[in-house]
Structure 1
């Protein structure tokens, strides 16, 4: 591959020196890569991207979630280089062709100083390889090991700037390299940043390689008997917590809550630090994609298989990983290899099999069946599984140092007889150690350093367990047991811890900082438990701890899945340094009286708090986002709930069945993706705070004590808004509500005023039948997808001046309504029911058809203007009013009854020029019509009822 330094080429770059925003382009989404395999070289795999580009790009992928840095030939990161400018406005290079040395190199990948970690791992791998060569062949003349750090002569571009550059910058040059430079501080990638070139997850790979170095050091120590003259350099690999994105190392706030950070991209602070953040801060990641991008342009390199260079402070990251992996592979071969391994299986129950292995003096076999026998004890290696004979009582491993598969001593049809285990020289088991359903009372793992899978002691008689030299363990199962004290001693890495039905009183996590699985300890006798020094754990379930009164989680920063604490005696709970829970948090049936969420700022699924009768206070600390539901039920002492600083809840907010709760403050909460459900008998006040959006329903019905509901910032409800049957409710603030996608239900309350002046759309019913209601403001209402029901109240006036459409009718019967404005109504399905009010006049506008009945009877109408109405699909009821004349001039069809009876002042009816067809009868009884009523042949009906018969009908349908 041809490389070009800054001294021989000028950058072709039009990006700003201080880049905060990014160009949003489309990019192929690349899934999270697995660790480097033990046999694959890190830099040999072909780049897995189909993105075609001629120059490096900074993009947002199609999901608008991830930030993608794509570079055809490579990525160069340089930090702390002193930048100087010349009179021509370009950087000076005092020594032509020489790379300018950085003063500080700090690139943090998920909290790990990348170059420091590479240096530590390389140094440790060098020492291990040298010791392995000396052990395997002490007389070899070439046992020296060169440095494993792969250096590159690529230098960062020199930006044309005067005066000297003071901020981090990003540039792409004409040779296909992407350059990222921070002038004085550090470059930060998030924990899940991904180097797509060769599908390498850098953070996980560094951890894996560090573990391999430690394991090989342990192997050397065993082989040499712990001799102090083994030349191994000190090795350390620390994973400090990823710094909070809202702070730079110097403490200056870079504003996590600012729009720039919320949008992701590249953000710089005033100290010269550069933060490379995903576009979606909660779900996204940064993908660094270097190497061949399928570019067929003239500038493309001819070597299509070249993986590209990822250079940090002059260190070639992939090249270094490749060298370290090769060194560790060689050391592993020298330290673990058995020179005379057969592909045959040793069957301890078969004489011929035993003799064949013994005669050939094999030190390793493929597998072992019906273990054990004297021949097995002479071996040093088993490639695959060891199957233990069911009649075995004392299990021994003799000289065996490595079993690549599992030790299988669980029998499906009846329990085994194993009562003692001697691991002898065994150091490594590649998969599981399964002693389930045996009679083991005491277990000492001795020199075993690594178990890749599960250590399963299910249903034994274990009273004592000693983890010995064990440093790495997949999962641990101990259930039930009589163990009272347990220490993980030297264990550094472990998966799931599964202990049910045990007598455990004390548990020490030893040196474990990361538990990749769940700590599942149920039905135990512990009074206290400390997770120190654990920083990250897959999940926690400490249920059925009838004696547990103290829980120390001070060092835990992250829980990947869930926390469940059910039926304990905990009285206080402080989450300390915990910032992230990937799944649910469940606290139930505890003795807690106080909960402090501390630094916790994200929960990926539900928070369920229930049946804690003594609880009096919850402090949500820094919690801002709950991706699932927040469910809070069944307390007796708590009087006030404040959700500050929670900003969003992805699913439901449910607050139910609290004996003493009087006030709910939603405070900073702006969005609930599901429903809000309040069901608390004694609830007096609800403050929705900043709540703007509810994805489903807002339900607070049947609250006998609820007097005030302030939702002044609420703009949209995804389903229904229901606070009905709350008779003491006298105040509801919906002043910014614009849309309800289902029903608006406020019936049977004590409201005298209902104001929603910005409400435009209700997709289902509006129901507010309240006898005390005197004023309604729906002045912006345009559409009602169901019915509008405001009957049985004390309303005098109702203005619906923008209402255009009602799908299932308007019902305002039996009130005190004196005036109503429906002049903008264009579509009415289901009828209009205004009967039994005090109306004196009504005027319709562009409405041409009433798809239902039009009922205006029993009012005080003196004037009716039917506007453009030509058809009424049900009855037209005008009886019991005070008009003297009525004009039906525009109406041509009434598909029901026309009733003008009991109108004491009616003397004239005006028909239009066309024919009026009434499907049923025309009722004119008890009206003072003139002695002659001429229908002029324009009225079609089954009959005309005109009792008393003092009026003569002419050219009309027959009398009824």
Structure 2
């Protein structure tokens, strides 16, 4: 009897060892079957670069470490029917012909890192990933992000996915660090209907952005080279740092009806259709950094603004010389604490959006003032309120 028991114990020990890392390398598709008895694999699972065809991770429901595959140029498909969580990084890189990614039970991943997956057009993730600390997706063939169904995330960076057309993450409410989209497909439309807070926001080359629930951004908001015509943040009340709109040639309308505080500066530059900065920031009272305006605007109105802790640099091609008079009066009355540099009728209206200018404290104007500056005669103001009103068009 003993001679049968000992081999059985040896086999059991081997099976146990296969589920206990630190790592298991799949060098050929059939190697994955050695993990079939592992409900949890304690360590990293690595798919080697020489693997070709399909890899099926049947049986494994949890990986405590990474699931990694890099430079497997002949890998066509990866599936894991029961896998629900990855405690480390789900790392797929340089998989040129991977076209199928099937994880119907996946729900939790610590980090997603997908780079150079040109053949991957869609995800088969069932209900999808609803929890992740970090998501980085770059240079894939994805047309949408269905399967990434997060409620919260630390950071999300989606870039250089040229076929990506729509992003709608209905459940996302909080981004603790940063949310960034850049250089994806033309006419990319982004919708985050329930996003309430985000540490930092950066958008480049996006045709439309909808974030109606956004209320608080502890860091910065930056929009660069976007072909959209308008942007609205109806519930945003404060930012911890700068708001920037740069190089958006079709942008003609901004709406921040609830915004009261900008913790950094306000930069509006190279947006040729943005001729009105009036009605966009009706509740804004404090800017802790600089005002930097470069463009074609003819009308400026901040009816609640009383404190700009930095400088104001204003260059506009408009010949409305009164704009500079108003900024200078605000400086004289200390509503603007830093220097004021203002020029109307200017050809110096281009700015690369990389920083702020402190200015020289001077102002210039060209041409006659345009009669489009609206003051409220029913509420005459004197003293400090009068010079603030001169700038803010109350």
TM more than 0.5: yes
Distance 2:161 2:188 in 1: 14
Contact 2:285–2:305, Cα closer than 8 Å, also in 1: yes
Give structure 1 stretches of 5+ with no counterpart: 1-220, 227-445, 448-467, 472-488, 498-514, 838-850, 872-960
Instruction: Show the 5 A alignment for 1:223-262.
Output: none
Distance 2:36 2:47 in 1: 19
Distance 1:814 1:610 in 2: 42
Distance 1:829 1:597 in 2: 57
TM-score (norm 2): 0.77
Quote the offset at 1:599 in angstroms.
Answer: 1.9
Task: Give the corresponding residue for 2:120.
Answer: 615
Task: Give the corresponding residue for 1:342.
Answer: none
Task: Give the corresponding residue for 1:766.
Answer: 266
Q: Counterpart of 2:113 in 1: which secondary structure?
A: strand
Provide the aligned C-alpha RMSD in A. 3.5
Task: Give the corresponding residue for 1:577.
Answer: 82
* Residue 671 of structure 1 pairs with residue 180 of structure 2: no
Distance 1:552 1:525 in 2: 11
Distance 1:624 1:772 in 2: 40
Q: In structure 2, which of residues 142, 149, 153 is the aligned counterpart of residue 645 of structure 1?
A: 149
Task: Give the corresponding residue for 1:804.
Answer: 306
Contact 2:180–2:201, Cα closer than 8 Å, also in 1: yes
Change beyond 3 A, Cα 1:746–1:521: same
Task: Give the corresponding residue for 2:102.
Answer: 596
Distance 2:179 2:147 in 1: 13
Listed one character per residue, the Cα deviations across residues 73-112 of structure 1 (whole Å, up to 9, x for unaligned) are xxxxxxxxxxxxxxxxxxxxxxxxxxxxxxxxxxxxxxxx
Quote the offset at 1:739 in angstroms.
Answer: 2.1
Quote the offset at 1:785 in angstroms.
Answer: 1.7
Distance 2:315 2:210 in 1: 29
Q: Which has the higher contact order (CA 8 A, sep 6+)?
A: 2
Listed one character per residue, the Cα deviations across residues 715-747 of structure 1 (whole Å, up to 9, x for unaligned) are 222322111233x23232322222222211102
Q: In structure 1, which of residues 843, 858, 868 is the aligned counterpart of residue 384 of structure 2?
A: 868
Distance 1:713 1:719 in 2: 17
| Dislocated runs of 4+, deviation >6 Å | 818-823, 861-866
Change beyond 3 A, Cα 1:634–1:835: closer
Distance 1:861 1:571 in 2: 65
Task: Give the corresponding residue for 1:688.
Answer: 191
Quote the offset at 1:608 in angstroms.
Answer: 0.6
* Residue 654 of structure 1 pairs with residue 162 of structure 2: no
Listed one character per residue, the Cα deviations across residues 28-81 of structure 1 (whole Å, up to 9, x for unaligned) are xxxxxxxxxxxxxxxxxxxxxxxxxxxxxxxxxxxxxxxxxxxxxxxxxxxxxx
Change beyond 3 A, Cα 1:526–1:747: closer
Task: Give the corresponding residue for 1:830.
Answer: 338
Instruction: Show the 5 A alignment for 1:491-510.
Output: 491=13, 494-495=16-17
Task: Give the corresponding residue for 1:561.
Answer: 65
Distance 2:64 2:131 in 1: 14
Distance 1:782 1:759 in 2: 8
Distance 1:761 1:644 in 2: 32
Change beyond 3 A, Cα 1:738–1:763: same
Task: Give the corresponding residue for 1:778.
Answer: 281
Distance 1:619 1:736 in 2: 34
Q: Counterpart of 1:494 in 2: which secondary structure?
A: helix
Distance 2:131 2:317 in 1: 46
Contact 1:645–1:668, Cα closer than 8 Å, also in 2: yes
Distance 1:790 1:526 in 2: 59
Change beyond 3 A, Cα 1:574–1:780: farther
**Number of equivalent positions:** 352
Instruction: Show the 5 A alignment for 1:175-186.
Output: none
Larger strand percent: 2
Q: Counterpart of 1:628 in 2: which secondary structure?
A: strand
Distance 1:623 1:661 in 2: 18
Listed one character per residue, the Cα deviations across residues 270-297 of structure 1 (whole Å, up to 9, x for unaligned) are xxxxxxxxxxxxxxxxxxxxxxxxxxxx
TM-score (norm 1): 0.34
Distance 1:589 1:682 in 2: 20
Q: Counterpart of 2:78 in 1: which secondary structure?
A: strand
Task: Give the corresponding residue for 1:790.
Answer: 293
Distance 2:190 2:176 in 1: 18
Distance 1:527 1:809 in 2: 66
Contact 2:130–2:149, Cα closer than 8 Å, also in 1: no
Task: Give the corresponding residue for 1:390.
Answer: none
Contact 2:66–2:89, Cα closer than 8 Å, also in 1: yes
Quote the offset at 1:614 in angstroms.
Answer: 0.6
Contact 1:518–1:537, Cα closer than 8 Å, also in 2: no
Task: Give the corresponding residue for 1:533.
Answer: 37
Change beyond 3 A, Cα 1:494–1:654: same
Contact 1:644–1:667, Cα closer than 8 Å, also in 2: no
Contact 2:52–2:76, Cα closer than 8 Å, also in 1: no
Quote the offset at 1:755 in angstroms.
Answer: 1.1
Quote the offset at 1:541 in angstroms.
Answer: 2.6
Give structure 2 stretches of 5+ with no counterpart: 346-358, 376-380, 388-394
Contact 1:830–1:852, Cα closer than 8 Å, also in 2: no
Quote the offset at 1:644 in angstroms.
Answer: 4.7
Contact 1:529–1:550, Cα closer than 8 Å, also in 2: no
Q: In structure 1, which of residues 587, 590, 612 is the aligned counterpart of residue 92 of structure 2?
A: 587
